[in-house]
Amino acid sequence: MKSGLSLVLSVFCFCSVAVSAPSPGGASESGVREFTVREGLPNFRKKVESGSAAVAYFGGSITEQNGWRILSYEFLRDHYWDATFRRVDAAIGGTGSLLGVFRMDRDVLAGKPDLIFVEFAVNDRNRPSMEIRRSMEGIVRKTRRVLPETDLCFVYTIVEQDLNDLQQGKASRAVRVMEEVADHYGIPSVHMGVRVAELAKQGKLLFRAGRENVKIVSGSELNLSSDLPVTADGKIPFSADGVHPYENTGHLLYADALKRALPAMLKAGRPGKRPLPPPLCADNDEHTAALTWKNPAVKCRGRVENVDPEGPVGRAFLARMPELRKFSPGSEVEFRFQGRCALLYGLFGPGCGSLEISVDGGAPRTESFFDSYSTYYRIGAIGLADSLPDGVHTIRIRVTGTPLDKRARLADQTRFDASPEEYRALDGYFGAVFVEGRAVP
């Protein structure tokens, strides 16, 4: 296994823990299937057999971590050693399938992957079922329109709140909705949390084991083929926060679930262009567009600057958001489109402020690109409008410059106290406007 993958060690000792696989076919003790083959991954199999294939990893922070994403990719490279693989990394922490379907043209499809792993169940868990169905179906239909020979595989991870239901044989609502979409389009799926829940129920795994006494080490310092690290009383520590797995325990279990599923999925189905049956939702999100600042339908006013490519924001984000601009207080964005909803794609962070949003000349409402996690810059989006009636709509956005009590909003105020000057700016960092529908000049 390659070095450089961060791994977690604690006061854990290496003891043997029986971690048996579920029975063939994906059955599990809980009654929730670990994997469902459906129409399999025949096009990906064909590409691997041809000697070259690209794999995209599309999801939230659990996929963005150097965990199951790295482990599964290295498994493919090691197992199919005579093929050349290319990886498309398209995960953004804290984001779900709604932002996913809007950004996938550039982040995923432009990379021309032969297989897309889609992981959004955790970050979608509190969204309404209809919204999940729209965006997940949009991801499938957009893929099949643009790359009809690209296979998809839905993968599901879990959080601590899902554990009891999963142990009782009930998947989360987000997973159940995603399975409806998978059934409709024949997409294989892997529930990577099934075995985790079984081990916790058997008393062999602690889903939440605190960070105290945890030391981060490099992959070269740990033999990943050895038994899983366990606590002094013989239990596997899964995560520190009940969400993000430790890379050398929880992520290994996630990756192992995928490894068990892949052989059956690669054997199934016939390669060829994937059909597009009638949609589950007529108003799904397959017809989305990104409007950049050069689009004639978008008007920018006030002080709008290119982001310094050598500055901390530019170095971190221009590769992911090439049209990223800095909008100073008082600047405005106005655009017209025909469609149902729109989002503003940008950064949350220490130097960000609030904005006023007005739809079709209505009273403005205030939103902010600063929240309790804004001690660092990260990619996110703000909903501008949703469920709009048919017709052409005009949206105006203004960066207000209104002072914010940033310290009071932060979950970790020590970072603010150490460098309050980093929080004084009230700018907007915007990369694009996303619309469901089309721009109207």
Looking up residue 16, the CATH number of its domain turns out to be 3.40.50.1110
Q: 35 in a domain, yes or no? A: yes
Same domain, 111 and 240: yes
Q: How far is residue 192's CA from residue 155's CA, in Å, rounded to a whole number?
A: 7
Residue 302: CATH number of its domain: 2.60.120.260
Q: Provide mean pLDDT across the span 276-296.
A: 94
pLDDT at position 228 is 58
CB atoms within 10 A of CB 183: 13
Same domain, 260 and 292: no
Same domain, 239 and 388: no
For residue 137, how many C-alpha atoms fall within 13 Å in the half-sphere facing its CB?
Answer: 21
Q: 165 in a domain, yes or no? A: yes
The per-residue pLDDT for range 10-21, each reduced to its tens digit, is 333 333 333 334
The per-residue pLDDT for range 45-75, each reduced to its tens digit, is 999 999 999 999 999 999 999 899 999 999 9
Dihedral-angle region of residue 380 (phi above 0 means left; psi in -120 to 50 means alpha; beta otherwise): beta
Q: 2 in a domain, yes or no? A: no
pLDDT at position 81 is 85
Same domain, 321 and 430: yes
Q: How far is residue 155's CA from residue 175's CA, in Å, rounded to a whole number?
A: 9
pLDDT at position 26 is 57
Domain boundary among 211, 237, 267: 267
pLDDT at position 433 is 97
Higher-pLDDT residue of 220 and 92 is: 92
Mean pLDDT value across the chain: 88
pLDDT at position 25 is 52
Judge whether residue 328 has pLDDT over 90: yes
Residue % of the chain over a pLDDT of 90: 79
CB atoms within 10 A of CB 61: 18
Q: Report the domain count for the chain.
A: 2
Same domain, 209 and 261: yes
Q: Provide mean pLDDT across the span 182-190.
A: 97
Confidence band, pLDDT 50/70/90 cuts, at residue 119? very high
Q: How far is residue 408's CA from residue 78's CA, in Å, rounded to a whole number?
A: 49
Same domain, 22 and 161: yes
Q: Which domain holds residue 337?
A: 288-439
pLDDT at position 13 is 36
Judge whether residue 138 has pLDDT over 60: yes
Same domain, 261 and 295: no
Same domain, 52 and 115: yes
Return the DSSP state at 275: P
Q: 278 in a domain, yes or no? A: no
Same domain, 372 and 260: no
Q: 147 in a domain, yes or no? A: yes
Looking only at the bridges linking them, the beta strands covering 236-239 and 205-208 are parallel
In our burial notation (b when 16+ CB lie closer than 10 A, e otherwise), range 291-327 reads bebebebbebeeebeebeeeeebbebbbeebebbbbb
Higher-pLDDT residue of 226 and 186 is: 186
**Element housing 207 (H / E):** strand 205-208
Q: How far is residue 370's CA from residue 366's CA, in Å, rounded to a whole number?
A: 12
Confidence band, pLDDT 50/70/90 cuts, at residue 263? very high
Confidence band, pLDDT 50/70/90 cuts, at residue 209? confident
Q: 368 in a domain, yes or no? A: yes
Same domain, 248 and 357: no
Q: 157 in a domain, yes or no? A: yes
Which SS3 state, helix, strand or coil, does residue 59 take? strand
Output the six-digit token pair for 152.
Answer: 């998809």
User: Which residues, listed in sequence order, are joined to residue 305 by a DSSP beta bridge?
Assistant: 326
Q: Provide mean pLDDT across the span 384-413.
A: 95
Same domain, 306 and 432: yes
Same domain, 262 and 297: no
Q: 413 in a domain, yes or no? A: yes
User: Which residues, listed in sequence order, are joined to residue 438 by a DSSP beta bridge?
Assistant: 338
User: Among 215-229, 269-283, 374-388, whose mean pLDDT is lowest?
Assistant: 215-229
